[in-house]
Amino acid sequence: MNERLGIALRVASTLAFAVMAAFVKALGDAVPLGQVVFFRSAFALLPLVGFLWWRGEWPRGLATRNPVGHVLRCLMGALAMFTSFATIRLLPLAEATMLSYLAPVILALLGWALLKEHLTARRVGGVALGLAGGIAFCVPALTGTLPQTAGIGVALGLVTAVLTAGALIQVRRLTRMGEGAGAIAFWFAVVSALAGLATLPWGWVWPGQAAIWLLVGTGLSGGVAHILMTLSFSHADAAALAPFEYLSILWAVVIGVLIFAEIPGWAFLLAAPLILAGAFVASAARAPAQDRATASTS
């Protein structure tokens, strides 16, 4: 194992995910949400298939003994992609990214309730920190001091965290049943692309040249991010990589300020340390690396 290489790959993956989110943000309302989900998932298949072929897992690595389990995971993940992209449209990039870190907090609770995982005192503390941060961030929305669209964005961000945690639970079940990372990632991309395509009757648009590049970039950067994340876990232990997962929020703040002129507000500055600390503590007893390498829903 090469720990330095693993860390470099993990850092690169967080940056690639942030770039993907920036592409989604830049598209704004110019392209329907379902069309964005389709391009994100369909073009992510290109680097993913190449990666599986390079590893010698194409096509034999796509076989599954649990298609129903994959369908359940994919549906939750695809729905989370819709709500995640809607959140990015309605909130500043840093705030939308921060809300996604409630997923490990919710995952700790779901793991205890559904998988009978041991809820240690440390995890209880992480859950408490994360929930406190979530409540602090939601105060402006609950008191009506936020614009209506921002309030909807906060609600969708919370829904995304719950759906992401549900998808992670299902990924854990699949990996315990012996399902491979390649199969989990591939079928998720396929089902998400089909879910996006299903919105075609509700009206897609013919995007301009700039929008086409943003759509393609969304898919390619998302696919590359998944590959970099998967590779990082093959070169370094989860404990060494864990702190670098939280660079996503730094990238989101920098991109938000430099590209979209989004200055973080007081609610973000108050809630972010609590939510990030809660996510870090609650996920201290890490799931297998394969779980995380195939679990991202955006």
Q: What is the pLDDT of residue 120?
A: 83
Helix residue ranges, H only, the chain: 3-27, 33-54, 67-90, 93-100, 103-114, 121-142, 148-176, 181-197, 209-235, 238-241, 247-260, 266-282, 289-293
Find the angle CA(23)-CA(28)-CA(31) to the nearest 5 degrees.
95
> What are the Cα distances from residue 228, in Å, to 84, 150, 190, 197, 285?
21, 32, 19, 27, 22
Using one digit for the tens of pLDDT, what is the confidence trace for 168-195? Answer: 889 888 888 888 888 899 999 999 999 9
pTM for the predicted model, two decimal places: 0.91
To which residue do tokens 């950067």 refer?
Answer: 221
Rounded-to-integer distance, Cα 229 and Cα 12, Å: 8
- Positive or negative, the Cα torsion across 252, 257, 260, 264? positive
**260 to 87, 252, 257: CA distances (angstroms):** 15, 10, 6
Q: pLDDT value at position 284?
A: 61
Q: What's the rounded Cα separation, in Å, for the pair 71 and 31?
A: 27
The residue ranges of every structural domain in the chain are 3-293
Distance CA(31)–CA(296), nearest Å, equals: 23
Q: Which residues of the chain have pLDDT under 50?
A: none
Q: What are the backbone dihedrals phi and psi of residue 271, each rounded to the nearest 5 degrees, phi first? A: -80, -35
> CB of 230 within 8 A of CB of 293?
yes
The total number of residues written for the chain in this structure: 298
Whole-number Å distance between alpha carbons of 30 and 18: 20
Percent of the chain with pLDDT over 70: 94
Distance from CA of residue 28 to its chain's centroid? 19
Structure confidence at residue 86 (pLDDT): 97
Cis before 59? omega within 30? yes
- Token pair for residue 198? 């299903």
Tell me, what's the pLDDT at 295?
A: 60
Spatial distance between the Cα atoms of 213 and 32, rounded to a whole number of angstroms: 15
The confidence score (pLDDT) of residue 271 equals: 93
